[in-house]
Amino acid sequence: MISGASQITELRIYSQNLNGRTQDKEDGVQELMDKLQLDVIFLSETFRAPPENSTSQIEFRSRAGFRTIEMTNANRRRGIQFRVRSHLEPLVTPILCFKDSHVEILSITIRGLRIIGVYAPDGKETEGTDVLLSILERAVSTGYGTILVIRDPNAKACALGNPSRSRNKAGRVLDSWLTETDHQNPRTENQA
């Protein structure tokens, strides 16, 4: 169950680092979605370059009952993708999408639920966490409702169950942000 998303009662979501795309992996993703009856899958490291002459960073495709929303990367070393069952009618949330040399963030909305997919490569945890926090702050401040973040941006934070001695810099930044903004214990409208 997803609290706060009035139009969704259940959604099966999965995240996977694809580490490059081959036909076998494409078939495997489809089999996994069917076997686990997944509604949404977030894939990172798709290693897909944008189509020739494309001016968009985000590509859309539909096939076999699924919509694919993909942020391609010209250097073919990264790239992220959401694959969503077509009947859920996913929409891209452009204000919450971001790409630079440190992090890729792709955001979709499914019936009032904002799903933010994050990829930060190893060694870029801090930069990825800073950008993610900026995106989350924008989402929270503009009243985006229920937000689900997929993919740990390599932050080892106490809030994520890591002991304080194993926190890394990105984890300390995330813990600090959660403490300062009190997002661990959000108030309901009745408490305001």
> pLDDT digit of tens for each residue in the chain (192 aa)?
344 445 667 899 988 877 777 778 888 888 888 888 999 999 888 887 777 766 667 888 888 889 999 887 766 667 889 999 999 988 887 777 878 777 888 889 898 888 988 887 766 666 667 788 888 888 777 776 788 888 755 566 776 666 777 777 777 877 787 777 654 444 434 443
Q: Are 43 and 28 spatial neighbours (Cβ–Cβ below 8 Å)?
A: no
Using an 8 Å Cβ cutoff, are 40 and 11 in contact? Answer: yes
0.85 cut: is pTM over it?
A: no
Q: Domains in the chain, ordered, with CATH?
A: 13-154 (3.60.10.10)
Return the pLDDT at 192. 39
**Residue 186's pLDDT is what?**
44
Task: Tell me how far apart the alpha carbons of residues 49 and 44 are, in angstroms, rounded to a whole number.
Answer: 13
pLDDT of residue 112: 83
103: its two tokens: 């992090």
pLDDT at position 12: 92
The pLDDT, as a whole number, for residue 125 is 61
Dihedral Cα 9, 151, 50, 56, nearest 10 deg: 60
Distance of CA 129 to the CA centre of its chain: 13
CA-CA-CA-CA dihedral for 107, 112, 113, 116, to nearest 10: 10
